[in-house]
Structure 1
Amino acid sequence: MSSDTDLIKLYSARILELAADIPHHGRLDAPQASVKRRAPLCGSTVIVDLSCTEDRVSDYAAEVKACALGQAAASVVGRNIIGCDIAQVSAARDALKDMLKSDGPTPPAPFDGLEVLRPARDYKNRHASILLTLEAAVEAMEEARAQVTCS
């Protein structure tokens, strides 16, 4: 079991900086898709709104109510998702999950900033919160794709 000191180290200055500065925080007025995800263990929630043009995210916002780790993940996603296609966002989600669960490689660029969350791999109860934003984003992109705007 990890000690309180280890838990304090988990919340590094960089994670706290990211958590305090989430780009595109809030909601879009008229998104193509909107997805709400909740982590049942901790109650963290994320609502992702997005629109796509020519298979890429053209507008994005997220309302994030999560721990600092979930907020930090949302911050990295918010800084990098516009212009990405579903393959890039899905690859980031899958790599983040692998990084947390199996100490796999860092998610590929432009989401490589998620590396800052590697120390959370030892805190399985935090994984769901960290994954929320990317999971919701992929689901929203699939919904937008179903509208034939994202292909």
Structure 2
Amino acid sequence: MSAPLYNKDILRLAANVPHHGRLPDPQASVEKRSPTCGSRVTADVRMEAGRLAEMGLDVKACALGQASAALMAAQAIGLTAAELADARDRLTAYLAGESDDLDFWPGLAVLAPARGYPARHASIRLGFEAIAEAARMADA
């Protein structure tokens, strides 16, 4: 493991993903998979009044994917589908080098060293992509 990519903070996050486990009766479920490394995140959601009320995650990913999913899950409850899609898009823009802003989501700075490793980007995006799509489907 490379020290700049895998540090204690990332490993701590990876080991403690909030909302871990599937929901018994979700309004929508989405599975996203990284073709590069095989990492996978499944998100189950329930929306109420246009906001994410409950979520369940099944995360089978590398430490970076798990850490990113943990950061997303810690802040997602209460957000709208549009806000979750915006966060997904902003993370994608950051990883692609199109933006330097990480202030849109608490804690993402811990993943900044991975920006220089494009092969890791798909795994980092999985949690954000799965929850945004599931929220959109449930809200439709």
TM-score class normalised by the smaller sequence: over 0.9
TM-score computed with the length of structure 1 as normaliser: 0.88
TM-score computed with the length of structure 2 as normaliser: 0.94
How far did 1:98 drift?
1.5
Structure 2 stretches of 5 or more lacking a match?
none
- Structure 2 residue 126 is the aligned partner of structure 1 residue 143: no
Note closer, same or farther for the CA distance 1:107–1:38 as it changes in structure 2 (3 Å cut).
Answer: farther
- List 4+ stretches of structure 1 deviating above 4 A: none
Residue aligned with 1:24, SS: coil
Structure 1 stretches of 5 or more lacking a match?
147-151
Q: Which residue of 2 aligns with 1:124?
A: 118
Residue number among 93, 112, 136 corresponding to 2:88 in the alignment = 93
Mapping for residues 1-151 of structure 1, pairs under 5 Å: 7-102=2-97, 104-108=100-104, 111-146=105-140
Whether the aligned pair in 2 keeps the contact of 1:90 and 1:138 (CA below 8 Å) is yes
| Percent identity for Structure 1 against Structure 2 | 46
Whether the aligned pair in 2 keeps the contact of 1:95 and 1:104 (CA below 8 Å) is no
- Supply the distance in 1 between the matched residues of 2:93 and 2:112 (Cα, whole angstroms): 10
Whether the aligned pair in 2 keeps the contact of 1:33 and 1:141 (CA below 8 Å) is yes
Larger radius of gyration: 1
1:92-128 deviation per Cα after TM superposition (whole angstroms, max 9, x unaligned): 11111122110521051xx221221111011100000
Note closer, same or farther for the CA distance 1:107–1:42 as it changes in structure 2 (3 Å cut).
Answer: farther
Whether the aligned pair in 2 keeps the contact of 1:91 and 1:107 (CA below 8 Å) is no
